[in-house]
Amino acid sequence: MRSSSMRIFNILFFALLLASCANRGSPTGGETDEEPPVIEKEVPENFSTNFDAEEIRIYFDEYVKIEDLRKQLIISPPMDTDPVIVPMGGASRYISIKIKDTLQDNTTYAFNFGESIVDNNEGNPYPYYRYVFSTGDTIDSLSVKGYVEDALLKEPDPFVSVMLYEVDSTYTDSIVYKEKPRYITNTLDSLTTFSIDNIKAGTYKLIALKDKNGNYKFDQKNDKIGFVEEHITVPSNEEYKLTLFSEAVNFKAVKPKQDGATRIIFPYEGDYESMRIKVLGDTPEDYQTRIVKDPKTDTLYYWYKPKFEIDTTFFVVTNEKSVDTFKHRFRNLEADSLTIKTVISGTLNFDQDFMLEANTPLVSIDKSKIKLIDKDSLDVDFEVEYDSIFNRYTFPIKKEESQKYNFTMLPGTFMDFYEDTNKDTLSFSARTKLKSEYGNIRVNLRNAKFPLIVQLVDDRGDVEYERYAKDSPVVDFTDLVPKQYNLRVIYDSNANGKYDSGNYLLGIQPERVSYAPQIEAVRSSFDFIIDFMLLD
């Protein structure tokens, strides 16, 4: 009995020992696969001529899937009907391309997959796979090369389409708005260079497009465009530069809408400054209007008094080049009551002024009902400035370091368009910091040709500080909020004090912009001197 028990014990002991050895450490499965998939065959073969197949299959040595095909895949020339490509959302040992479009005769087609083909397990991409075929006897083999830059940004947007339009008897410059190009490529997500390959000899218009709609047509409102002024001739050994810019949008009036008891919104596109709004027909007795611009959107608020006693009227909206007439139906909506709020509150930087705005148009301010004191309760002198288009009052003061300013505004300080006033006492405060909490930059412009607009911008290209240099190569930025900036210069070629973009149809390129090499981040209580060498 004892020997039988010992035998069972020994069996269990060795079984546990073997299990322990088997479980010691977790199996790793070997090294991570870092190799891209391998193509085993293509049917029909890549670079086939006299192509007439309806389906293409590319076979791989492992399961593959397709990722981000909409951005990565570029078909040149573009097809009117997209091919059906599988697998989409799954994995397969082959990729199928079913052609649904009628192919052009004697034309070389290229399917550029970018890095969208990846293996199913590790996601290793097949690098920049291209499938090329010709419906004629030969494969076109010429190329156009170059690079893309942005007119205002330090780096251009990703996925920029670069296109060639054939200049023949049917070509006009407006073709970019209406038709797809003859040839196309894409800079993808990390490249600024481009190469349009497998094209035939000829004369072309070279265009770059940040194509938000993905339709290969220029939409002035949403897209950026770049172009070479002259037509190019292929073959060519030249490397072409394309500068992307956003055009100033052409003016367009949009149908108005009742937005309050006596407020109508007039949306628009383009420049509002020459926009005029008039009633077509009779108006109430003593009719008056005020127009205020929304600070964030392309909208004008049309305020009027008294109310119309009719249901509908017509408005005529004009600018320097257009006239639009809109039928407007009045609605019974709640009236607005006057409210005042701060535009800049809390901390005031030394380049800012305290500012108030109202929800209804203001017509007057009683300065005698305003008291401004500092943290020691001493009176502070102030001025008052009114911006009628944005309906804002600004209060310029001589700001001191580490100070607190308290505004008290008695009832009746403000009166609006409807003779409403603030009924309560309004109290606002703002603070300043020590000068030592800011930094300063002096920019020495080398090889400068004036005038120049010198700017400190953030990573999005938004302007934080700006100086206009007319004749002096020394530009000072003082009392800067500590952070990282980019330094750039705009060559103000027409000396109008602002950046001017380009225009494709007029053949106008945007004004030149140069970025300095990356500057140090601004630090508190620190003075920087930067030598910025400008190119001819």
How far apart are alpha carbons 331 and 308 in whole angstroms?
10
Q: What is the pLDDT of residue 32?
A: 65
How far apart are alpha carbons 477 and 527 in whole angstroms?
10
Report all structural domains of the chain as residue ranges with CATH numbers, in order of start. Answer: 39-134 (2.60.40.1220), 142-244 (2.60.40.1120), 252-329 (2.60.40.10), 340-433 (2.60.40.1220), 437-533 (2.60.40.1120)
Q: What is the pLDDT of residue 7?
A: 53
Find the helix or strand (DSSP H, E) in which 23 lies: helix 2-23
Q: In 3-state terms, what secondary structure has residue 139? A: coil
Low-confidence ranges of the chain (pLDDT < 50): 1-6, 8-9, 11-28
pLDDT tens across 162-187, in order?
A: 999 999 999 999 999 999 999 999 99
Contact 65, 91 (CB under 8 A): yes
How far apart are alpha carbons 190 and 183 in whole angstroms?
21
DSSP string covering 446-470: ET--S-EEEEEE-TT--EEEEEEES
Residues 6+ apart with CB under 8 A from 331: 258
DSSP string covering 280-336: ES---TT-EEEEEE-SSSSEEEEEEES--SSSEEEEEEE-SS-EEEEEEE----PPP
Residue with tokens 């690098």: 127
